[in-house]
Structure 1
Amino acid sequence: MNEHAPVPGGLRLADLRAGPNALAQHYSRFDVANRLPLTGHSHQAWPDVAIDGQLAAFTDAAAELDGKWDRAADKAEEVRDGYRALLGDPDGELALGASTHELLVRFLSGLDLCGRRRLVTTDGEFHTVRRQLDRLAEAGVEVVRVPAEPADTLAERLAAEVDGRAAAVLVSAVLFETARIVPGLDGLAESCARWDAELLVDAYHALGVVGMPIHEQGLGAAWIVGGGYKYLQLGEGNCFLRLPRHADRFRPVVTGWFSEFSARSQRPGAGEVAYGSGAARFAGATYDPTSHYRAASVFEFFRAQGLTPAFLREVSLHQNSVLADAFDELALPPELVTRDRTRPRSDYAGFLALRCAEASAVRASLARYGVYTDHRGDYLRFGPAPYLSDRQLRDAMAALGEVLRVGRGTGGVTLPKSRGNG
């Protein structure tokens, strides 16, 4: 990494490492310069310009009444353009939705689950996929869950489960518990194509911290789902489903009336249900456009600051290395907390996952120290963000050392006696 190499917009890695971080001034409402928010993989702060977008949505509604929808459509297209740039897919068809679940359900409803009753996935998917597939399994769909670990062979093991019975494979580009990047998805895509099965890739934990040029990665024929609530700072209500070229043969059962906007030549109710073309095929219905106004403002802010996918990856790798090094310097007992050191940080995405004896209790104690993290099972997760300085990252990790040492002595975190805290 070259700390002194400028990027478009003038920012350098050195500007973000220093205190105060050069970006922090643009997040005054979240007060990131005076807090230690390490939930960047779950909820990042919004730049101050986000409120400008929200106010613009109100202003347009007040001025235009029902005519606001034309302006809202323009904002939605700006959001699509933001995602297209991240995916390296300038002509991509993207359906928008309030959540990835909403879009996942429309995708699933377009599959031939009567003729092909098998769905292949992993045991490391986010709850959106996990819960919905659990319920489909109760309804008689065969759901094959491949162990997510080891990640190095995951794509290959998924491909081995694909055959003429499989309607689709659903897998994450980055595992949400550990931040481990899943390699070899291009080979999985080839296997799916051979069997005429669909491939849906969840890119939520990749966008903003890992490059996702889908055509370069052999994923041009895949469905890509994701959103901007996490690393992209877009807030709620900003998710997308990227459609492959063959999507026009799909007739999703769960379909919103917005799909009729581009199919008005066919009278509703006269014969077969008509669908719009491209992304309109997976359109929903009336929604709150405020989220798109906010997202459009944030995407423009990212462009103005030079927060390109390549620079964001550089920042993410640096910040996670700072956290990992600071953790190692604590030399805490591995039976209490440890991290995976078998792979380089470049094999991970946007956060540092620590296996922790009492992750939930440690998270709560850290919050009392003013350090905001989260946990999934026995993983304690530290998620940095571009507006944090190196000093803030080291201070957050130092608090972990204090919490665990206090817990072993004077009663901070209650640790199990069988793990050596006496």
Structure 2
Amino acid sequence: MTLAVHYRRFRVAERLLLTGHSHQAWPDVAREGVLEAWDDAAREAGAKWARAEAKAERLRDGVRGLLDDPDGTVALGASTHDLLVRFLSALDLRTRPRIVTTDAEFHSARHLLDNLATAGLDVLHVPAHPVATLAERLAGAVDDRTAAVVVSSVRYETSEVVPHLDAVAAACARVGAELLVDAYHQLGVVPLALGEAGLAEAWVVGGGYKYLQLGEGCCFLRIPPHAATLRPVLSGWYADERDPWAGATYDPTSHYRAARVLDFFAEQGLTPPRLRAISLHQRGLLAAAFDDLDLPPGLVTRDRETPAEGFGGFLALRSPHAATLQGALAERGVTTDCRGTYLRLGPAPYLGDDQLSAAIAVLGEVARAQNTA
């Protein structure tokens, strides 16, 4: 647990925090970033923005590194919702009124697109299951009325990696549509090199609240090279001809915090390949320990057909009692979460193998108690 010493304020060595897919702990240096933001504001007052911009650029540079996109253009926002609104407002929805998406997107996209559908936009929901053929079916739904495809690269409910998104990119390119990939549940746990993935011309949205440990307010939108001429209608007052994607006045504290954490990751060698190796080990340990419990499949089970490389960073356990199990685990000091019928166990690099094994042992106890209730 060598990393745990850097997370003393979150007490990761004392708690079984299996919410690594939704809210990872912050390293102690993140607090230094928050204090630095305060000190700069106190010392510089209105002149603080030059310092704040340097922190924002550190965040943009971190995003470029995660995407293997050294010359990429990156817009920042407080939330992915904010950035999705900007993106949609740049599309010609009058002549291309269709958005193609799936029925399993995260709420930021789902709520927005559902509301737009109610207002008259043509939103086509392609079933996300089975994930193996999702890209093929999305590509087949793209036509010359399609403004954009909006799809996650890792499903937030099940942790399944969506393969072959390059086929969707090719379909969009053929008709002049845009592809926006929500990589929030991928970055920091599954490497994403845009060129290798065939996504050099895709938009990519994500944020730092989950695997990147940056906290709230650190969301980003990677703008592809071909989109340089697009202008969002709904932009902030910062926007100008030099940067039409800029937002408006914001709290720069989150970017100070992010800059410290990104530097910490670099110092600790927490590169995308290393984070992937840690994730595969931890998720594999959780899966094997769960299998050893030999619980009734009708009570709780998992996907054993998809290979380990086909998942992101958490173990999704399917159960009709997911919420009850989550509550019972919380009472025993194991923090997890659930989405519908899925109990989600999210490890993180600062957790030790013994902690993961202990959490699964508690799961076995509460599951057997549920089974006899």
Normalized against structure 2, the TM-score is what? 0.99
Question: Aligned Cα RMSD in Å?
Answer: 0.7
2:335 is aligned to 372
> Which contiguous aligned blocks of 4+ residues in structure 1 show a shift greater than 6 angstroms?
none
The CA deviation at 1:197 is 0.2
Q: Does residue 298 in structure 1 map to residue 261 in structure 2? A: yes
Mapping 1:122-271, distance limit 5 Å:
122-260=102-240
CA distance in 2, matches of 1:165, 1:55: 50
CA distance in 2, matches of 1:117, 1:82: 34
Could you say what secondary structure the match of 1:130 adopts? helix
After superposition, what is the alpha-carbon deviation per residue over 1:279-322, rounded to whole angstroms, capped at 9, x for unaligned? x2111100000000000000000000000000000000000000
The CA deviation at 1:193 is 0.1
Larger Rg: 1
1:385 is aligned to 348
CA contact (8 A) 1:202 1:225 kept: yes
CA distance in 2, matches of 1:357, 1:252: 43
Q: Does residue 83 in structure 1 map to residue 63 in structure 2? A: yes
Q: Does residue 289 in structure 1 map to residue 252 in structure 2? A: yes
Q: Does residue 353 in structure 1 map to residue 316 in structure 2? A: yes
The CA deviation at 1:165 is 0.5
The CA deviation at 1:361 is 1.1
CA distance in 2, matches of 1:111, 1:23: 44
2:270 is aligned to 307
The CA deviation at 1:408 is 2.7
1:41 is aligned to 21
The CA deviation at 1:102 is 0.3
Mapping 1:61-140, distance limit 5 Å:
61-140=41-120
What stretches of structure 1 of length at least 5 have no aligned partner? 1-20, 261-275, 412-422
CA contact (8 A) 2:299 2:371 kept: no
What stretches of structure 2 of length at least 5 have no aligned partner? none
After superposition, what is the alpha-carbon deviation per residue over 1:30-62, rounded to whole angstroms, capped at 9, x for unaligned? 000010000000000000000000000011111
CA distance in 2, matches of 1:408, 1:149: 29
How many percent identity over aligned positions? 62
The CA deviation at 1:215 is 1.2
CA distance in 1, matches of 2:363, 2:287: 12
Letter in 1 for 2:139: A
After superposition, what is the alpha-carbon deviation per residue over 1:116-163, rounded to whole angstroms, capped at 9, x for unaligned? 110000011000111101011011111110010111110010000001
The CA deviation at 1:343 is 1.1
Aligned residues: 373
